[in-house]
Structures are given as structure tokens and as C-alpha cells.
């Protein structure tokens, strides 16, 4: 247990309602009420994770911001987290501090990205993280509050307040909260964190700078080709040369793909090949602002740079042929996703 003092300014109020009203008026929330971050609760979170208040979790050099464990704990309490969620929030923040994620750019840009967190491994079940029915919707405390904690930290600690440093043209609902678990028990393939080099027994969070998702319906097809062609059709809207983009496959679609015996790599290769069109077609849609130049107008150019530019995740409810395309900020090249193991308290 750390005996280090908490250094944040202390504010006194007569009751919880006054705290909530003050925090709302200060612009310290996402526009919704918060849980008052009392000294005891913040200490409880830090003790659960075995972190000292002054420990630096991430830095944002462009803005000269330092994210300490104390500030992560305060905002996690405010978001409504339980102490056992706190290691996931800390790990997500550590991942966001990796230069490849480009923390400043993705939280400031007009393109309006949000941090999508995908949790894998035993911790997802332990915390009750939803990977099933209405996976991107409300109703699950762990999903809702872990995602919200990260959002509150982005504005309160790193200064990306909407309208100030956050200049999103549209933004999207994922900017309130965006945290899911992968439906590992439904997937016929290795989970995302295993694909990225961790063992299945480990827990991990992968963060993406995600744009608003596009839902793709196909309830009529019973084989991989037409299902995946529906998805590649929708992928064209994302634009050319994506370094990274996400496809979230629902259980119904996965069932048919599994029955046909397809590997995850086959799915990626099929999507890559079918989401290609001639340069002349891209030009018609304004995707070649410099013009064709000397390039062959019939040469094929793809939505994805390669099959491995496509990250495939399995999630969603058992009923319904609805999968998602999630493009990443700046075509995935300005911000690369980061997978990080969630370590238990030392």
C-alpha cells in the first residue's frame, strides 16, 4: 500500500448532488452526471492496482501533459468504475502513450476518432465485459464505465475538450464510451491478443483510433463469399490504401464461415481482393485528388494495403446477420493500434 499523499486539489461540498452539479458546470464530465471522486474511493482504486499516485502512466508531449495514476483513478471513479476495472483503464492509457498511437492527433483531429478498446483473455469474463447481444450498446457496467473513464481522462487530463483541442467535425457515439470484449468462445480462430503474440491465458486490451462504425446487413446468404462481399462493398466507402481497418463479424456470419472451414487469413485475403477497383473508378469518386497522372487507369487499387491491414474481430449477439466495418483515423497510418497485456497488481 502506497503511503504517498494524493496531490490533486481537494474540494469540499455539503452533499453529492452539489459535487455532481459543480463538476458538470466546470466541464469536467462528458455532459452526464459523475460519481464523486472522494479521497477514500480514489485511494481504494490505487491500492487495488498497487500503484503509487504519482506514477506516470502516459505522457502527451505535444501538450506537455502527464497522466498520473492518481488522475486515472479520479476519473475512473467519476466514470462509475469498480476498483477491479481500474487495471484495464490503466493499461489502455499506457497503450495510448505509445508513440505509434499518436495520442495528440487522434484526440484533436476533425476526423473525430474515439478510442475503441477490445479486451481479450480471462479478465473479460471476470469483469463481466459484454461480447454478445448489443455489444456496442448500453447495459453493461464494465463496458460502459471503462470506456467512459478513458474518455474523461482524454478531456480532463490531456485537455482534448470538445470544441477546444478536440475539433471533431462530427465525432460519434463511441466518444462517450467504447469498450467491448471479443467473443472468443464463438470464434473458430485464435483471439486478437493471441494473433498479436500473447498467450491465450493472458489478458490484454487492444486500442484503436476508431471512426464511426458502418453496419453491414446480410441475412440471406449462407456461405462466406456473399457474406464477405457485402462487407467488401461497404469497405469501399472507407477509401483507398488503409493501413489498418477493423471488421467485426457477428456470430451468425461466423457460423457460416466456420461451416465452410475458412481460416481468419482466408477471410482477410478474400476481403482484400474483393475490395479493389481500378484507379479510374477511384478517380471518379474523388479519391485521387492529384489525378491519374501517368498511372494505368485499369490498375487495381485496394481499400486495404494488404490482407493483414484488416483486423478481424468476432463479437455480437447470436441472432442477426449484421457485421461492422470500423475504419481507423487517418486510414490507420496516422495511428496504429496497440495491444498490451493487462497485468494484475504486483
Partner 1 sequence: MTIATRLEVLDPTTAPIPVSAVIAPRPETLNGTVIGLLANGKLNSEPLLEYVQEILADRFEFKAVVTRNKGNASRPCPTNIMEEMASQCDLVITASGD
Query: If binding is defined by CB under 8 A, does position 23 make contact with partner 1?
Result: yes
DSSP string, 235-269: HGGG-S-BS-EEEEE-HHHHHHHHHTT--HHHHHH
Which of the residues 126 through 155 are near partner 1 (CB under 8 A)? 152
- Residue 7's Cβ-count burial label (10 Å; 0-12, 13-18, 19+) is exposed
d(C-alpha 78, C-alpha 38), whole Å: 9
Closer Cβ to partner 1, 68 or 218, answer by number = 68
Specify the pairing of strand 310-314 against strand 114-120.
unpaired
Return the range that interacts with partner 1 (CB under 8 A); candidates 60-68, 132-140, 175-183, 279-287: 60-68
6 contributes a contact to partner 1 by CB under 8 A: yes
Query: Closer CB to partner 1, residue 106 or residue 192?
Result: 106
30: alpha, beta or left? (left if phi > 0; alpha if psi -120 to 50): alpha
Nearest approach, Cβ of residue 278 and partner 1 (Å):
22
- Which of 67, 116, 160, 181 binds partner 1 (CB under 8 A)? It is 67
- Note whether 163 binds partner 1 by CB under 8 A: no
> Applying CB under 8 A, which part among 1-9, 85-93, 272-280, 303-311 lies near partner 1?
1-9
Minimum CB distance to partner 1, residue 98 (Å) = 14
Binding span for partner 1 by CB under 8 A among 66-74, 190-198, 217-225, 247-255: 66-74
The grid cell for 292 is 491519374
Taking the C-alpha atoms of residue 247 and residue 210, their distance in angstroms, rounded to an integer, is 12
DSSP string, 96-144: HTSGGG-HHHHHH-TT--EEEEEEESHHHHHHT---STTTTSS--HHHH
Q: Which parts of 210-269 interact with partner 1 (CB under 8 A)?
A: none
Site for partner 1 in 322-341 (CB under 8 A): 330, 333-335
Site string (267-296) toward partner 1, x via CB under 8 A:
----------------------x-------
Sole window of 14-22, 213-221, 225-233, 257-265 interacting with partner 1 (rule: CB under 8 A): 14-22
Task: Check residue 298 for interaction with partner 1 (CB under 8 A).
Answer: no
Nearer to partner 1, 130 or 177 (CB): 177
Within 13 Å and on the Cβ side, how many CA atoms surround 165? 17
Indicate the SS3 state at residue 300.
strand
Rounded to a whole number of angstroms, the minimum distance from the CB of residue 115 to partner 1 is 16
Q: Residue 326: phi, psi to the nearest 5?
A: -125, 110
Site string for partner 1, 84-113 (x = CB under 8 A): ------------------x--x---x----
CB burial string 136-163: b at 16+ within 10 A, e below: beeebebbbbbbbbbbbbbbbbbbbebe
Between residues 24 and 133, which has the closer beta carbon with respect to partner 1? 24
CA distance 207 to 184: 17
Residues forming the site for partner 1 (CB under 8 A): 6, 8-16, 18-19, 23, 28, 36-39, 42, 63-68, 70-71, 74-75, 78, 102, 105, 109, 152, 156-159, 289, 330, 333-335
Amino acid at each position: 500500500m502506497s503511503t504517498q499523499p494524493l496531490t490533486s486539489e481537494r474540494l469540499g461540498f455539503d452533499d453529492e448532488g452539489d459535487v455532481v452539479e459543480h463538476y458538470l458546470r466546470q466541464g469536467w464530465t462528458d455532459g452526464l452526471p459523475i460519481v464523486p471522486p472522494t479521497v477514500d474511493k480514489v485511494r481504494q482504486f490505487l491500492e487495488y492496482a498497487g500503484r503509487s499516485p504519482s506514477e506516470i502512466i502516459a505522457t502527451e508531449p505535444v501538450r506537455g501533459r502527464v497522466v498520473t495514476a492518481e488522475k486515472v483513478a479520479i476519473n475512473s471513479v467519476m466514470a462509475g468504475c469498480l476498483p477491479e476495472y481500474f487495471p484495464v483503464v490503466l493499461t489502455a492509457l499506457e497503450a495510448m502513450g505509445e508513440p505509434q498511437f499518436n495520442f495528440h492527433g487522434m484526440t484533436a483531429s476533425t476526423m473525430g476518432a474515439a478510442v475503441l478498446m477490445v479486451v481479450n483473455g480471462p479478465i473479460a469474463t471476470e469483469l463481466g465485459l459484454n461480447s454478445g447481444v448489443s455489444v456496442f450498446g448500453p447495459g453493461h457496467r464494465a463496458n460502459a464505465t471503462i470506456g467512459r473513464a478513458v474518455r474523461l481522462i482524454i478531456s480532463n487530463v490531456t485537455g482534448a475538450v470538445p470544441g477546444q483541442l478536440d475539433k471533431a467535425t462530427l465525432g460519434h457515439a463511441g466518444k462517450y464510451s467504447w469498450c467491448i470484449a471479443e467473443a472468443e468462445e464463438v470464434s473458430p480462430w485464435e483471439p486478437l491478443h493471441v494473433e498479436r503474440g500473447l498467450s491465450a491465458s493472458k489478458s490484454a486490451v487492444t486500442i484503436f483510433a476508431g471512426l464511426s462504425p458502418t453496419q453491414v446487413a446480410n441475412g440471406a446468404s449462407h456461405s462466406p463469399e456473399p457474406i464477405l462481399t457485402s462487407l467488401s462493398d461497404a469497405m469501399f466507402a472507407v477509401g483507398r490504401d488503409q493501413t489498418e481497418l477493423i471488421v467485426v463479424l457477428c456470430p451468425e456470419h461466423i457460423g457460416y464461415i466456420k461451416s465452410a472451414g475458412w481460416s481468419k487469413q482466408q477471410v482477410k485475403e478474400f476481403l482484400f481482393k474483393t475490395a479493389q477497383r481500378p484507379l479510374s473508378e477511384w478517380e471518379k469518386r474523388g479519391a485521387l485528388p492529384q489525378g491519374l497522372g501517368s498511372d494505368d487507369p485499369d490498375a487495381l487499387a485496394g481499400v486495404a494495403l494488404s490482407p493483414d491491414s484488416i483486423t478481424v474481430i468476432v463479437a455480437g449477439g447470436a441472432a442477426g446477420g449484421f457485421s461492422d466495418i470500423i475504419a481507423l483515423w487517418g486510414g490507420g497510418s496516422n495511428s496504429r493500434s496497440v495491444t498490451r497485456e493487462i497485468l494484475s497488481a504486483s
